[in-house]
Chains A and B, each alone.
Chain A
């Protein structure tokens, strides 16, 4: 089971933190700091596996990490996961981000944290690997984003109101209203724009 997924940059600033086990908020921040200390000390050409720090379960859990440019991707797992498999998973995750954001860089992760969470939610659920096929993940994420766009997303609420009024199509007004033997002729009004 995956206990936590952390992304932070070379200075230890968190870019994404997702915990699949319950920790208090303070502990979560401490874990991020501790993990950063452990991982940043590592040389470039040593293996990518580490014992977990004390806060996150000590020697029973392992930290499996990869360093891409300015970001560290760290997965904290227990002994039931295959270490080499998780390395492969990190690779798939980064490639998916790359496809979704087109040449992803740290700024993309900074400004679109919620989108990264959504992509991650399609890959890992409850600490277990859900889907590893990159195309499948991207398809699902795109479909959900489209749904969001149709509701104009988080930022669009007021803008939608204006465009709705602009595009309102009033139904055709009835030309002849017959009530009994009174016949009222309705004048032809120009269409409301």
Chain B
């Protein structure tokens, strides 16, 4: 059997192959040769054969039959064999093959070998692909090597220890004693890997974190030496002394300083020093600065340092290098929640990044822009964002459109602006918007009564231009169906009214029905719209004809609609006007985003009350705004979305239902408010109130509880505390007790607050207030009071007592000043 060819020969041969098939043939031939050579148990050529096998493996051909051969090579005495054998083990073997356990003994022997390079090979392999069984067996050896004085082995042992800890976390304590003097090493390689080991241990176990906190001064000293020492040729990279080590130490400092004041104190100086002294002309300098910024933002640093960090990020944004800008945008996104105002200063630069050519930068700039939108800058930002929406790639359009909708919903300065914005989005990116934007938009249009004529006119014009974007078409046809009469009558205050005849409108709608661009859903919308127009237009015959044609449509949905509408014309004509009349204002259910206590996003002035939004007299069954009436028309500020029906559906939902029962004539102050003069808190109740704090610790001086309502045996007390994370939120717990002899069942407590506050009602503990003070019902209310105005509240109570339902309303004005200051 001739000697197997060398690796170089094989590579040369394979490169001469001109087609994939030729290459495959050559490789198969060589594999066959290798296999027979393996069978002959030839020691001299084994390493050569395995080397060739590894090359073929890299090209993608199966090489599993070489696994056992790798093991044989590892067991050999020659260094060359071992080297290739270990490489093969790392590439071909992993813990899924049972064969790998056979390596354990070899590795154990090699870890105690006399040659450091053999030991190094063994450590390397163990650290790359050691399974948990292997790690368990060999952890002791690794630990021994961690204490050796040979720096080459020590650094490898440190990283091997990291791998062992990852695989078998319980062994972490075993390495603890060896870490004692790791940081006093001079060798940078060992220092580097030691810091990695310490980082891994701190991340995995909070006890270790506490233990290693005492190393902070030592780390600070090492970092200082790196910065202050002069030029050291062996560690220099582009003029900075060992930047990789600096970055690692900064990262470890970040983990140690997080949520610990003392450590953060100790680091403040060195962080400031690094931030100001590092050269920014090279990539490694910027890497260090970037890591410094991340560390400053994460630990409890003083505010001056944080401002410095954000300014560094701002400078990064202006850098020409794309990588730096990318990194800056990513970090700003992480910090925008906590240091909002500081990031706002760089808003214009961020908006410029929207125009960058690089896709990754554009995406980050877009996310950051949405995070920065607030009531003050909404108009300007929206202009930029809409321009971006026009010109961006399709992959962005969906996210951008959703973001625009969300932002518009939260901060729209006026109804007309809101509708204009949404129309712009629909016309430019219509096919990419989310499905639920159509119903949301319809609801929005319905709710803005005075804009109906304007809206329907604009939508009609948009429809004339383009019928390919389905969401736009759907909304337009719905509106035309609802408000077609306004369209043809030509009354529109906001814009130049256009002259449209009924026939033209019907032409457009029929065009939608037959067009190939319309989806079945759109066709359904337009058919219904045509039907609705039968009560608003006079050309009923034409509509009847259209509807009857579709009675035999192939589309089942369309057919069903047409048949039913036909029946409406024939048998139930008397019901038609009532069925097809204008839609009432819909209640707003959960919107797209969180509607509870919202961040004010850096605004200082209160948002201008939108007086157009007061739908007072004209709308019947105006459920969402019943609470407005409840609070009385004298109050200038109406209530919006206070009782949030999203979280717990029980309490909120009943509110709306129950308020619908109230016979409101729509005028101001319908219900006389019995303002009971309640005494302020009694000392005996102070302790009761405080002891039953359900959620947060009361950090400040105890705010005295108060009795909010006391009548007919039902007494309701409020106890206060401040929610820890946000001092603007007051958490009120109500305790309802009953002094009569009968239980009060189906007890429901509801509350409303003036507009500048926001209220969240959590679920009550139960619905039954037991008699004779045997127990109480508790419920938690959270009130957000960003402007520190005096808290006032209207409460409504309903319960059943001795078989008869009882309802009562009360106003609570005597909140203690500490609760809202």
Residues of A whose CB lies within 8 Å of any CB of B are 14, 16-18, 20, 22, 25, 29, 43, 45-51, 82-85, 87-89, 91-92, 110-111, 113-114, 117-118, 121, 125-133, 135-136, 140, 143-144, 147-148, 151-155, 157-158
Q: In the complex, how many angstroms separate the beta carbon of B67 from the nearest chain A beta carbon?
A: 12
- Of B76-84, B552-560, B796-804, the stretch lying at the interface with chain A is B76-84
Report B232-246 residues with CB < 8 Å from chain A CB.
234-235, 237, 242-245
Question: Distance (Å) between the CB of A175 and the closest chain B CB?
Answer: 38
Q: CA of A155 to CA of B11 in the docked complex: distance in angstroms?
A: 14
Contact status A125-B48, CB under 8 Å: no
A82, B361: Cβ atoms closer than 8 Å = no
Partner pick for B117 among A50, A110, A147, CB 8 A cutoff:
A147
Given contact pairs A113-B55, A132-B242, A144-B83, A85 touches B192 in the complex (Cβ within 8 A): no
A153 contacts which chain B residues (CB < 8 A)?
Answer: 80
- Which residues in B have their C-beta under 8 angstroms from that of A131? 155, 189, 192
Give the residues from 120 to 146 in chain B that come closer than 8 angstroms, CB to CB, to chain A: 120, 123-124, 127-129
- A113 and B58 within 8 A (CB): yes
Cα distance A50–B237 in the bound complex, in angstroms: 25
Q: B287–A14 contact, CB under 8 A?
A: no
| CB-nearest residue of chain A to B44 | A157
Which of B45, B87, B360 meets A157, CB within 8 Å? B45
Q: Separation in Å of the A116 CB from the closest CB of chain B?
A: 11
Query: Which residues of A are found within 8 Å of B48, using beta-carbon distances?
Result: 154-155, 157
Chain B minimum-CB-distance residue to A87:
B283
The smallest C-beta distance from A1 to any residue of chain B, in angstroms, reads 9
A128 and B83 contact, CB distance less than 8 A: no
Query: In the bound complex, how far is the Cα of B130 from the Cα of A106, in angstroms?
Result: 32
Residue A50 contacts which of B234, B247, B360 (CB distance < 8 angstroms)? B360
Q: Cα distance A141–B109 when bound, in Å? A: 22
Option from B44, B87, B323 in Cβ contact (under 8 Å) with A48: B323
Q: Which residues of A contact B192 (CB under 8 A)?
A: 129-132
CB proximity of B223 to chain A, nearest CB, Å: 15
With contacts A17-B58, A140-B152 taken as known, whether A128 is within 8 angstroms of B196 at the C-beta atoms is yes
B284 interface neighbour in A88, A148, A157, A158, Cβ under 8 Å: A88
B156-164, B177-185, B705-713, B748-756: which lies at the interface? B156-164
Contacts of B45 in A (CB 8 A): 157
Beyond A126-B163, A136-B189, A136-B234, list 8 extra A-B contacts (CB 8 Å): A14-B59, A46-B361, A51-B360, A84-B287, A111-B11, A132-B244, A147-B117, A151-B78
Partner of B244, one of A14, A49, A129, A143: A129
Nearest CB of A to B802, in Å? 62
Knowing A85-B287, A128-B159, say if A25 contacts B62 (CB, 8 Å): yes
Write out, one digit per residue, whether chain B residues 692-709 have a CB within 8 A of any chain A CB (1) or not (0): 000000000000000000
- Min distance, Cβ A13 to any Cβ of chain B, angstroms: 8
Q: Inside 8 A of B163's CB, which chain A residues have their CB?
A: 126
Shortest distance from the beta carbon of A127 to any chain B beta carbon, whole Å = 8
Stretch at the interface among B2-10, B206-214, B372-380, B520-528: B2-10
Q: Collect the chain B residues with CB atoms within 8 Å of residue A17's CB.
A: 58
User: In the complex, what distance in Å separates the CA atom of A130 from the CA atom of B115?
Assistant: 20
Contact (A133, B234) CB under 8 Å given A126-B127, A128-B159, A151-B80:
yes
A and B contact pairs by CB, cutoff 8 A, 9 listed: A14-B58, A16-B58, A84-B323, A85-B243, A88-B237, A113-B58, A128-B193, A130-B155, A130-B189
